[in-house]
Amino acid sequence: MHEVLSKAKKTAVTPKNVLTVEGLKAYYINEHFGVRREVRAVDDISLTVQRNEVYGIAGESSSGKSSLIKTLAGAIRPPMRVVDGSVKFDFGGQSIDVYGAPEQLKPARWRHLSYIMQGSMNVLNPVRRVKHSFHDFAYRHMGLSGAAFWSKVRQHLERLGLDPDVLEAFPHQLSGGMRQRITIALATVCEPEFIIADEPTTALDVLVQQDVLGLIKDVQARMQASIIFVTHDMSVHAAITDRLAIMYAGRLAEEGATQALFDNPQHPYTAHLIGSLPRIGDVRVRKSLPGKPPALSDPPSGCRFHPRCPLAIERCSREVPLMQPSATGGRVACFRAGEVVAA
C-alpha cells in the first residue's frame, strides 16, 4: 500500500517540463590581435521539453543546431561561451542548473542525461572490443556488481534486437548501421530520462536509417524518456518527432506540434523547408531560396531571414520579431505569420 501511495505521490510531483531553456545565448568568441569576433550561433533561445516527448530541431546547415544542443548538454568548449540565459533540467525532483551550478551535471550524465553526438559511432574505441566501451561509459553509473552489470547489458542489447555477442567484436568488424545501433544501446543502457541526439542517422543508408529510427522510437517509448532529436532532414522529423522547432541563423523561427507545422506552417522559412520535400507524383520544379544563409558573425538587422524572405516588408529589416503564440497552437517569430501559404 505504502509503495502504491509513494508511487502515486512521485507521479503527482513529477514536473511536466524536464528541460527549461530561457533566453539562451552562446557565442563562439575569438580575439586576434585585440580584435574580437563573435559568432552568435545560439541567440536568445527559449524552449521547454516535456517528459515522454520527442522534440525535433530542424534547420539548414550552419543554422546553429549542433551549437544549441551542445550547449543544452553542457558540452561546450572554448571558444564557445554561454553569455546569457539558463538551461535547467528537472528529473522528477532532481534539478540541474547546467550553467548556474555546473557541478550538478557530472553525476547526472549517462544516468539521467545522455548525448549521442554527431559521428558518435566514433565513441567506440577502434582498438578495443565493444564490451570495453560499455564498461568505460556505463559501469560506474549503474551501481551494479560485475555479473549483474553484464547481465543487464546483455538483456538491454537483446531488447534492442542486438546479439549480445557483439560485445566481443571490434568496431571495424561491424557495419555502420550496427555500430550506430550499438552507440544507441550504449547511450540508453543506463535508462536515462533525457536523450540528446545529433544527426544520429544521417550517415546511414535509407533502409538502415529507418531501422535505427524505429529503434530510437522503441527505446524512447519503453523508457518514457524525452528526446531532443536534431536533423536537417524534414522527413525524419515527420516520422519521429512530436514537436518541432525550426532554427534559422542561430534563432528559433517557429515551434509547434509536428503535424500542425507540416499542415499549416506559420513562418515562410518553415513553408520553404516543407515545400522542398519531394512528394511522390509531384513533378513541379522546386524553387530554392534566393541568397545564402547569413554569416553569424555579422547577421542581418531585424529578422535574420528577411533578405531571403518572399514576404518581407520594410519592418522586417528594422525590428527583430520575437516568438509569439501562433494560430496553430505553437510559437512563431514573424510579422507576417498567418499570411504564409504552404507550398
What are the residues binding ligand ATP (CB under 6 A)? 28, 39, 41, 59, 61-67, 79, 232, 296
Smallest distance, Å, CB 234 to ligand ATP?
13
In the complex with ligand ATP, the residue whose CB is nearer, 98 or 189, is 98
| Residue 37 grid cell | 569576433
Residue of 207, 183, 206 whose CA lies nearest to 195 = 183
∠ at Cα 237 (106, 11), nearest 5°?
A: 50
Q: What are phi and psi of 165, to 5 degrees?
A: -65, -15
Smallest distance, Å, CB 215 to ligand ATP?
22
Direct distance between the N- and C-terminal alpha carbons of the chain, in angstroms, rounded to an integer: 57
- Per-residue DSSP letters for 243-266? EEEEEETTEEEEEEEHHHHHHS--
In the complex with ligand ATP, the residue whose CB is nearer, 111 or 267, is 267
Smallest distance, Å, CB 27 to ligand ATP?
9
In the complex with ligand ATP, the residue whose CB is nearer, 62 or 95, is 62
In the complex with ligand ATP, the residue whose CB is nearer, 47 or 160, is 47
Please state, in angstroms and rounded to a whole number, the distance separating the CA atoms of residues 249 and 295: 8
In the complex with ligand ATP, the residue whose CB is nearer, 41 or 212, is 41
In the complex with ligand ATP, the residue whose CB is nearer, 63 or 264, is 63
Residue of 268, 242, 245, 241 whose CA lies nearest to 334 = 268
Smallest distance, Å, CB 283 to ligand ATP?
29
**137, 110 contact by CB (below 8 A):** yes
**183, 80 contact by CB (below 8 A):** no
Smallest distance, Å, CB 288 to ligand ATP?
17
H/E stretch holding 211: helix 206-223
**183, 124 contact by CB (below 8 A):** yes
Smallest distance, Å, CB 55 to ligand ATP?
16
